[in-house]
Structure 1
């Protein structure tokens, strides 16, 4: 697997995380398009932020070998990134709408 493919898989898993969180927790949903966008940004943000701990795509395929444990950690962080950013964006949106009505 190349680093680019691992990055694309991570983004796709972040999208799945945001869409599934929107499906399970309906009050946090922005629809399929909004959930997809938040999943992309959440996945990229968390992998870029915490990837320096050793589970970024470059570390997964270091020296031409594939590290499955690091890849699974990468997938979990991507999924959680999509979920967390969806919830954070919804809370920010609710606060902004609340201030606009007063």
Structure 2
């Protein structure tokens, strides 16, 4: 696996997290496209923010082999990034609509 492939898998994990959150909680749904975009940006934001702790794609592949533990942590953080990104965007949209 390469660093780029790990990054792409992480982004898909964020997309999955946002869409599953919208599926389970209908009130937080922004439509498929909105959920997907939110999952992408939430995943990227969380990995860039927390990946410095040692589970970014480059660190996962530093030995030439995939470190399974770091890869699993990376996927979980990406998934949570998508979920929390959707929650934050939905909260922001509701706040902006209530100020009218």
TM-score bracket relative to the smaller structure: over 0.9
Mapping of residues 38-57 of structure 1, within 5 Å: 38-57=38-57
Gaps of 5+ in 2: none
In 2, distance between residues paired with 1:98 and 1:13?
32
In 2, distance between residues paired with 1:2 and 1:15?
20
Gaps of 5+ in 1: none
- 2:62 is matched with 62
Residue 86 of structure 2 is aligned to residue 86 of structure 1: yes
In 2, distance between residues paired with 1:63 and 1:11?
23
In 2, distance between residues paired with 1:69 and 1:62?
13
Give deviations 1:25-82, integer Å, cap 9, x for gaps: 1100101000000000000000000000000000000021210000000000000000
Structure with the higher fraction of residues in helix conformation: 1
SS of aligned partner of 2:85? helix
Length-normalised TM-score, structure 2: 0.99
Length-normalised TM-score, structure 1: 0.97
In 2, distance between residues paired with 1:50 and 1:67?
17
- 1:30 is matched with 30
Could you list the structure 1 runs, at least 4 aligned residues long, displaced by more than 4 angstroms after superposition. none
